[in-house]
Amino acid sequence: MNFENTWYLIEWHGRTKVVSYEEFSKLGKNEFVLIENFATHHEALMEYQRLIKLEIADAKEKLNPLKSGKIT
């Protein structure tokens, strides 16, 4: 597979971010963790957005004991 025009969703210093192949190639081997690769910037951003929404939903779930059924 050719990755030259693709985009990477990575975890970098505790943050999730989207980087181009060019930026990705400049990162040190142990500087990041690869989450997913995408053919387009749009797809990478959409996935990034989806994961953020899921994290927000998870956080809400944890913060809302009534909804999670821990307090009745």
Contact (CB, 8 A) for 10 and 35: yes
Is 20 a residue that touches other proteins (CB under 8 A)? Answer: no
Binding mask 45-64 toward other proteins (x if CB under 8 A, else -) reads: -----xx--x----------
Size of the site for other proteins (CB under 8 A): 16
Tell me how far apart the alpha carbons of residues 45 and 34 are, in angstroms, rounded to a whole number. Answer: 15
Smallest distance from the beta carbon of 49 to other proteins, in angstroms? 13
What is the dihedral angle through the alpha carbons of 25, 54, 63, 67, rounded to the nearest 10 degrees? -170
Binding residues for other proteins, rule: CB under 8 A, are: 1-3, 6, 8, 11, 33-39, 50-51, 54
